[in-house]
Amino acid sequence: MAREIQSDGELRFEGFASYPNSATFNPDSGTLEYAENITINEGVITPRLGYTLAYSGFYPVTYACAAHGPSGDSILLWNANVRFDCNSGVTSVASLASKQKARSQGYADALTMETLDSDWVAGANITERLVTAKNDRCRFTLYTGNLPYEPDDLRLIQGTYDPVLAIVPRMNSFLAFGKRSIYFVKAGLGRQANPDRKPNEQVFHTVSRISAQDGLACKDGWAETNGILVFVDQDGLKVMEQDKYNEGSKPISYLIQDIWDQIDPSKYSAITAVSLKGRIYITLPLLGTYNKTCVLVLNTQNKVMFESLNVYAHSMDSLVVARKDGIPRVWGINYATGNIYLLDVASSSTDAGTTFQSKFRTRNYFFKSHSDKKYDESYVYFNTNGSASIDLNFIAVNPDGKWTLDTFTNQNLGTAVRRALANKKCMGGKLEVVVKSGKPSIYSVGVDASLVGRSIFSSF
């Protein structure tokens, strides 16, 4: 029976929830199509903070990691043989030429993480033991030390050879990520607990395979926070929660496939990820002009985690987390120059002196009608928090076009609602807010529209 399609009235985004377009929330509210250089806290959008140049490198870098200890944290730069003290900014020479480290071991000095097997990849500390990995083999040191005197070894082969790329520590256990499989390993007590060398269940390691078809595509391409572990698989970005994983789960990166498809295939294995305070930061070595300047930010506080694509003025080949003044911070390293950048500096509104813009786009407004609609009014509700420069753009769909509806430059409006007439006849439209300067808090945006004519069609 044919029925008349009525307009829904006004639509608006009250309390921003996620990016990109998603069915998790009411489709009329909250979700964004795209977001760049923003943060979302409790549904309020603000521009991200800028970063500063913390260290000017003089040599190219092949690898970088953070070293943690009671006296403070530092960043180690391989090939340059440099140790950068995060608190003082002072550098010193470190003999790192033949070393290759995994990150976040917890030792005071990353050199003490090494075993006599210098070509092994360092893994993690589990209850006073160091676990390292080489190919499909894991090695456990004795308790209360890291020298591999009579160590325990474990082979992870279960049906096929699978080299271990990363070890994620737990309490006396760990997750081992191979290229094609994921394992959970519970460590035994070690040989020193069995001096008689008699069979004893307590000294045996137990291994279970979580997934036989999913694995890690890059050794630093994982991070976890708030019980959520995100890792880069060959198929895209996948998620484990509380160490539970359904084999064959679809990648969450399907939601941003248009962006994920722009990753340079030759640099896929170079993706790195770190986590801090509920957020996960993932480097995206994209093709073209955005090559290695983009960091995808996930916010686990949001029901849909995608928060923003941060586009930086300089390439970020690697990210690490290290303390400065006792507070964990995110740092970016440029491998070509050896430069170290301190991200999210509260006093910085630029990227090491380069001005950046923040922007977001709403999903397409479509009022359940197949006729043209006249968009009468668009609005943005915000607080400039001082002087700010903002553009409110309208992007029409069929006919395509983009118009600036409202703009103001270096004005302090306080808490305000700015309205502008869209006055466009089209099948649908999006709102785009561009923040050119300042740190405004944006609470909601919306449009009012009226039907130009009626649409009657058959419904089955």
What's the rounded Cα separation, in Å, for the pair 432 and 255? 19
On the question of pLDDT at 292 being above 50, the answer is yes
Q: What is the pLDDT of residues 137-148, one digit of tens each?
A: 888 877 655 454
Q: Which of 2-11, 35-44, 55-64, 404-413 has the lowest mean pLDDT?
A: 2-11
Of 52, 21, 49, 53, nearest to 37 (Cα)?
Answer: 49
Burial of 177 (0-12, 13-18, 19+ CB in 10 A): buried
Higher pLDDT, 173 or 372: 173
What's the rounded Cα separation, in Å, for the pair 16 and 46? 11
pLDDT bin (cut points 50, 70, 90) of residue 444 is confident
On the question of pLDDT at 217 being above 80, the answer is yes
- The residue-averaged pLDDT of 24-41 equals 73
On the question of pLDDT at 410 being above 50, the answer is yes
Higher pLDDT, 107 or 90: 90
| Mean per-residue pLDDT over the chain, rounded | 81
Record the tokens describing residue 196, joined without a space.
């008689």
pLDDT score of 458: 37
Of 141, 117, 147, 148, nearest to 127 (Cα)?
Answer: 141
pLDDT score of 160: 63
Of 126, 108, 110, 124, nearest to 65 (Cα)?
Answer: 110
pLDDT bin (cut points 50, 70, 90) of residue 24 is very low
- The residue-averaged pLDDT of 186-200 equals 70
pLDDT score of 4: 38
pLDDT score of 115: 45
Higher pLDDT, 128 or 94: 94
On the question of pLDDT at 33 being above 80, the answer is yes
Q: What is the pLDDT of residues 325-342, one digit of tens each?
A: 999 999 999 999 999 999
The answer to whether residues 263 and 251 touch, using CB atoms and an 8 Å cutoff, is no
Q: What is the pLDDT of residues 231-276, one digit of tens each?
A: 999 999 999 998 888 888 899 998 888 899 999 999 999 999 999 9
On the question of pLDDT at 11 being above 80, the answer is no
First to last CA, the chain: 7
pLDDT score of 342: 97
Of 297, 258, 249, 283, nearest to 49 (Cα)?
Answer: 297
Share of the chain above pLDDT 90, in %: 39
Query: Which range has the top average pLDDT, 64-73, 202-211, 221-230, 361-370?
Result: 221-230
On the question of pLDDT at 126 being above 80, the answer is no
pLDDT bin (cut points 50, 70, 90) of residue 165 is confident
- The residue-averaged pLDDT of 434-443 equals 94
Q: What is the pLDDT of residues 39-75, one digit of tens each?
A: 988 888 999 999 999 999 988 998 888 888 777 888 9
- The residue-averaged pLDDT of 14-19 equals 55
- Answer yes or no: pTM beyond 0.95: no
pLDDT bin (cut points 50, 70, 90) of residue 440 is very high
Assign residue 322 a region: left if phi > 0, alpha if psi is -120 to 50, beta otherwise? beta
Taking the mean position of all CA atoms in its chain, how far away is CA 354? 22
Residues 267-305 as b or e (16 or more Cβ within 10 Å = b): beebbbbbbbeebbbbbbbbeeebebbbbbbbbbebebb
pLDDT score of 68: 80
- The residue-averaged pLDDT of 75-92 equals 90
* Percent of the chain that is helix, strand, coil (3-state, to 5): 5, 50, 45
Share of the chain above pLDDT 70, in %: 79
Residues 9-47 as b or e (16 or more Cβ within 10 Å = b): eebbbeebbbbbbbeebeebbbbbbbbbbbbbeeeebbb
What's the rounded Cα separation, in Å, for the pair 333 and 341? 6
- The residue-averaged pLDDT of 134-163 equals 70
On the question of pLDDT at 194 being above 70, the answer is no
On the question of pLDDT at 432 being above 80, the answer is yes
Fold that domain 2-34+359-458 belongs to in CATH: Jelly Rolls (2.60.120)
pLDDT score of 273: 95
